[in-house]
């Protein structure tokens, strides 16, 4: 098995970007290009001899690409203009560049992926598709807005909807339309001292419009952002993951994985163990927990956890999925609480039965949705010629690579990595930030406090200006420091040095109190600076001009 790659780190300085491979290859390194990556990935995919039903995997790919391109075009055309070529065979043959993210307020470094999708696709005359991962949880309906000065800056939570029970984005509707409509103005007004003209001001009315049309919170945000990208000239398509899960070819792939639930379970855990060993990760919950085996369900078992989520329309809480394969060729999926579904899915049943069973689940409003690793596995194996990850996804997808090798014996297609950092223009608003560094000052203060405890003599006046008894203590300490710590003297040497330090502490008290008085203000300033300089602020908090420059729209 090939070794795991090192995890990349995000760029630190504002305006820096990580784009691998670059959009335009250099003459010195033509192999480092999106064209070469696509060519290599197509060769890797062609080598797959895995059979899914009566088809080889690569044969199912063409049918999957046809369905995905069709549904992505139809979905996108429902709210913005998009190109839909008339020659379907040619369209399927063109490269597909794909990425994805949750429909939430992400930072500009994440949005850079969407710009790269468009640029990559144009470079190879292909199609860019962004997955709206509406199968992830909507944890909160508020956004953190930075407010304050370098002394007291903090994050203020501004709701964009009323609170609701936690559920997947695809199930989350808008609870309070008045709160939703007012968010753009409220957040922009709070942000005004740092950025008086955020793109949020003119984007939010579009979000309100799209949410009213689609009746879903997450899709309203995603469609409004995608419509703004059309004004930037990006020619990408989008499609929610929930829509992909309803496609027959995708159901075939999901059915194949479920038909091999135990092998998938074991490959997943084996990949996790190898990843932790390679990266020296100690916590058993990092980067994600292992899948468990349950044997405590009466009458059945063992139940193997598989990387999907399950819920029903009546109870939209996402819950873990456990699979039990009976000897008769039936696969039972359950959360081992309230949902239990029996499906004719096994390696010996036909893919047509898999599709029929999974379709009936959808008709009965029982949702079976993949976790992140299964989603990217689907995208990389069945749809995209190149999948574009951020840094976090790139690290986790090393697990996907390992799982694919174990299940198929073949190397999976490689992915691209795009990330970046853009920060609010706080140096312009607060010029004093250029000359101060509270983090460094706080480190100096902590160092001084430690020095006062263990090296108080460094903070005394010259010995000839000190009282005789103080000078004698310092000479006594120096004597013991210079004394070699033999086996017989080591204990006494330590005791004598410590005793001198304790005798000198009263002389340090005023300096210690003055130093301690600096800790609170410096810690507060350091926290405030971290808030102001964070790279995690949403893309819509920035003005359009720096955004356009960062997103490669104003570069030669």
Mean pLDDT of the 35-52 span: 92
Nearest 5 degrees, angle CA 144-CA 150-CA 154? 25
What is the tens place of the pLDDT at every residue in 234-246?
999 999 999 999 9
| Dist CA 192 CA 186 (whole Å) | 10
pLDDT of residue 298: 63
Is residue 309 within 8 A of residue 321, CB to CB? The reply is yes
* More confident site: 327 or 509: 509
Nearest 5 degrees, angle CA 288-CA 109-CA 184? 105
Backbone angles phi, psi at 349, to 5 degrees: -90, 160
What is the tens place of the pLDDT at every residue in 94-109?
999 999 999 999 999 9
Residue 427 burial class via C-beta count within 10 angstroms: exposed 0-12, middle 13-18, buried 19 and up: middle
Name the residue among 123, 132, 59, 74 with its Cα closest to residue 97: 123
Mean pLDDT of the 210-221 span: 96
Question: What are the boundaries of each domain within the chain?
Answer: 284-369, 428-532
Mean pLDDT of the 275-292 span: 87
Percentage of the chain modeled with pLDDT above 90: 80
Q: Is the pLDDT of residue 122 over 60?
A: yes
What is the tens place of the pLDDT at every residue in 377-395?
999 999 999 999 999 887 7
Mean pLDDT score of the chain = 92
Q: Is the pLDDT of residue 1 over 50?
A: no
| Dist CA 360 CA 370 (whole Å) | 17
Rounded to two decimals, the pTM is: 0.90
Is residue 95 within 8 A of residue 40, CB to CB? The reply is no
pLDDT confidence of 7, banded at 50, 70, 90? low
Mean pLDDT of the 169-180 span: 96
Q: Is the pLDDT of residue 83 over 80?
A: yes
CA distances from 190 to 148, 195, 224, 405 (A): 9, 9, 22, 50
Mean pLDDT is lowest, of 174-178, 360-364, 430-434, 468-472, for 430-434
């Amino acid at each position: 098995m090939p070794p795991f790659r090192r995890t990349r780190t995000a760029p630190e300085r504002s305006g820096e970007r990580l784009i691998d491979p670059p959009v335009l290859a250099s003459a010195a390194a033509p192999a480092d290009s999106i064209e070469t990556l696509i060519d290599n990935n197509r060769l890797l995919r062609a080598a797959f001899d895995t059979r899914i039903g009566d088809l080889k995997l690569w044969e199912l790919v063409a049918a999957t690409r046809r369905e995905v391109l069709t549904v992505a075009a139809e979905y996108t055309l429902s709210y913005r203009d998009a190109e839909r070529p008339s020659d379907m065979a040619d369209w399927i043959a063109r490269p597909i560049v794909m990425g994805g993210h949750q429909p939430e307020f992400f930072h500009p470094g994440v949005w850079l992926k969407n710009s790269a999708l468009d640029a990559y696709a144009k470079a190879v005359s292909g199609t860019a598709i962004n997955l709206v991962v509406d199968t992830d949880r909507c944890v909160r309906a508020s956004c953190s807005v930075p407010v304050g000065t370098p002394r007291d800056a903090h994050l203020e939570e501004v709701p964009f909807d009323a609170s609701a029970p936690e559920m997947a984005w695809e199930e989350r509707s808008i609870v309070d339309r008045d709160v939703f409509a007012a968010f753009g103005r409220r957040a922009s007004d709070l942000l005004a001292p740092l950025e008086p003209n955020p793109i949020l001001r003119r984007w939010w009315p579009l979000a309100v419009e799209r949410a009213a049309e689609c009746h879903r919170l997450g899709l309203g945000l995603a469609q409004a952002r995608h419509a703004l990208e059309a004004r930037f000239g990006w020619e990408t398509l989008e499609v929610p993951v929930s829509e992909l899960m309803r496609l027959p070819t995708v159901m075939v792939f999901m059915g194949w994985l479920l038909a091999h639930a135990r092998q998938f379970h074991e490959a997943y855990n084996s990949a996790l163990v190898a990843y932790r060993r390679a990266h020296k990760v100690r916590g058993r919950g990092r980067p994600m927990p292992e899948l468990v085996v349950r044997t405590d369900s009466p009458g059945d078992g063992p139940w193997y956890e598989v990387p999907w989520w399950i819920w029903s329309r009546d109870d939209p809480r996402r819950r873990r999925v456990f699979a039990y394969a009976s000897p008769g060729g039936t696969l039972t999926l359950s959360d081992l609480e309230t949902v239990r579904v029996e499906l004719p899915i096994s390696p010996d049943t036909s893919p047509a039965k898999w599709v029929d069973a999974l379709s009936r689940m959808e008709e009965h409003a029982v949702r079976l949705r993949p976790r992140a690793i299964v989603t990217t596995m689907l995208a990389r194996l069945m749809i995209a010629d190149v999948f574009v990850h951020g840094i976090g996804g790139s690290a986790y997808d090393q697990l996907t690579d390992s799982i694919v090798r174990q299940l198929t014996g073949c190397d999976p297609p490689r992915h691209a990595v795009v990330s970046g950092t853009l920060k609010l223009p706080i140096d312009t608003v607060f010029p004093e930030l250029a000359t101060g560094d509270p983090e460094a000052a706080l480190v100096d203060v902590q160092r001084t406090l430690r020095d006062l405890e263990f090296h108080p003599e460094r903070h005394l006046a010259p010995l000839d200006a000190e009282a005789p008894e103080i000078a004698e203590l310092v000479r006594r300490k120096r004597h013991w420091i210079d004394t070699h710590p033999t086996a017989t003297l080591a204990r006494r040497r330590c005791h004598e040095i410590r005793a001198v330090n304790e005798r000198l502490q009263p002389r340090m008290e005023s300096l210690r109190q003055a130093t301690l008085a600096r800790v609170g203000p410096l810690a507060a300033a350091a926290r405030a600076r971290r808030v102001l300089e964070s790279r995690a602020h949403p893309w819509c908090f920035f003005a359009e001009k720096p955004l356009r420059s960062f997103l490669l729209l104003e570069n030669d």
